[in-house]
Chain A
Amino acid sequence: EADIYQTPRYLVIGTGKKITLECSQTMGHDKMYWYQQDPGMELHLIHYSYGVNSTEKGDLSSESTVSRIRTEHFPLTLESARPSHTSQYLCASRKSSYNEQFFGPGTRLTVL
Chain B
Amino acid sequence: GDSVTQMEGPVTLSEEAFLTINCTYTATGYPSLFWYVQYPGEGLQLLLKATKADDKGSNKGFEATYRKETTSFHLEKGSVQVSDSAVYFCALSTMGNTGKLIFGQGTTLQVKP
Contacts and interface: CB of A to CB of B under 8 A. Distances in A.
Contact of B49 (A99, A102, A104): A99
Interface residues of A, number: 25
Contacts of A31: 98-99
A105 B43 contact: yes
A102 B32 contact: no
A15 B87 CA distance: 31
A58 interface: yes
A56 B51 CA distance: 26
Contacts, number: 58
Interface string B34-45: 101010001111
A96 B99 contact: yes
B26 to A, nearest CB: 15
Interface in A37-75: 40-43, 45, 48, 50, 56, 58-59
Nearest to A105: B43
B44 A56 contact: no
A85 interface: no
A49 B105 CA distance: 24
A90 interface: yes
A103 B103 contact: no
A101 interface: yes
A90 B106 CA distance: 15
Nearest to B92: A99
B17 interface: no
A100 B46 contact: yes
Contacts of B34: 99-100
Given A41-B87, A43-B89, A106 B99 contact: no
B48 to A, nearest CB: 10
B106 A42 contact: yes
Contacts of A33: 100-101
Contacts of A106: 42-43
Interface string A2-38: 0000100000000000000000000000010100000
5 contacts: A43-B89, A43-B106, A48-B100, A99-B95, A103-B43
